[in-house]
């Protein structure tokens, strides 16, 4: 497919970034879009991994310059997709893959109707809560806000092209692979 876009969407903590990392290892045709954020770096993160970390001021300046094809406020921080990365990937004949929230997926889909959105859902809200705490190594200050947002997001899952439940990583990844293979004509 020309100018392909694969979006892993779903609540924060559902496992999107783990699937994205695995898919990047398995498919050389995929181009990892590194998005920008104003949130603070977590332990183990660095510039470009998994985000470009910007001050709010810089981010707002880039919005003014139309640098982002899409941007959104998620849990009080700004996140945005640099448009230039999509064109770079496509010029190299690659398919872009990215991990963004629902607002972002909806915006991208309206701008690029070929976008294929895979909604990753946690097996339950309790499982999501455990995963978020484990990932952060502590109870994040905004945990309840995230859970509220997750509930709303999960109610919108059927608006997307595919829904997969991340109860078992291997099983869920097999489903994601099949969707990627079919959409890129690799099967
Ligand atoms: P986290 O800060 O936990 O890495 O990510 C929080 C949420 O922001 C996740 O759901 C992630 O998918 C989403 N996100 C990351 N980058 C972008 C982006 O560029 N745009 C939008 N709309 N959401 C993003």
CA angle 69, 105, 154 (to 5 degrees): 155
Cα-to-centroid distance, 82 and ligand 1 (Å): 13
What is the rounded distance in angstroms from the CA atom of residue 181 to the CA atom of residue 27? 10
Q: Domain tally for the chain?
A: 1
For residue 113, the CA-to-ligand 1 centroid distance in Å is 20
pLDDT in tens, 68-107: 999 999 888 999 999 999 999 999 999 999 999 999 999 9
Identify the CA nearest to 37 among candidates 54, 62, 24.
54
Q: Which of 175, 159, 158 is nearest to 183 (CA)?
A: 175
Domain range spanning residue 43?
Answer: 5-183
Which ligand 1 atom sits nearest the alpha carbon of residue 75?
A: 6
Per-residue model confidence as pLDDT tens digits over 126-183: 999 999 998 888 888 889 988 999 999 999 999 999 999 999 999 999 999 999 999 9
Using alpha carbons, select from 134, 14, 37 the residue that is nearest to residue 45. 37
Q: CATH number, domain at 122?
A: 3.40.50.300
pLDDT tens string 33-82: 999 999 999 888 999 999 999 999 999 999 999 999 999 998 889 999 99
């Amino acid at each position: 497919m020309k100018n392909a876009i694969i979006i892993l969407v779903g609540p924060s903590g559902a496992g999107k970034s783990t699937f994205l990392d695995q898919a990047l290892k398995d498919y050389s045709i995929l181009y990892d879009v590194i998005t920008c954020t104003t949130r603070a770096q977590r332990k183990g993160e660095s510039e470009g991994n998994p985000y470009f970390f910007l001050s709010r001021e810089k981010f707002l300046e880039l919005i003014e310059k139309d640098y982002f094809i899409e941007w959104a406020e998620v849990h009080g921080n700004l996140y945005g997709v640099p448009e230039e990365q999509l064109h770079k990937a496509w010029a190299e004949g690659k398919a872009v893959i990215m991990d963004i929230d629902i607002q972002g997926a909806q915006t991208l889909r309206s701008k690029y109707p070929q976008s294929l959105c895979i909604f990753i859902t946690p097996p339950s809200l309790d499982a999501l809560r455990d995963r978020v705490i484990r990932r952060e190594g502590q109870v994040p200050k905004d945990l309840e806000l995230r859970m509220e947002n997750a509930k709303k997001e999960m109610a919108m899952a059927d608006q997307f092209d595919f829904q997969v439940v991340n109860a078992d990583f291997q099983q869920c990844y097999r489903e994601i692979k099949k969707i990627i293979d079919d959409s890129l004509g690799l099967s």
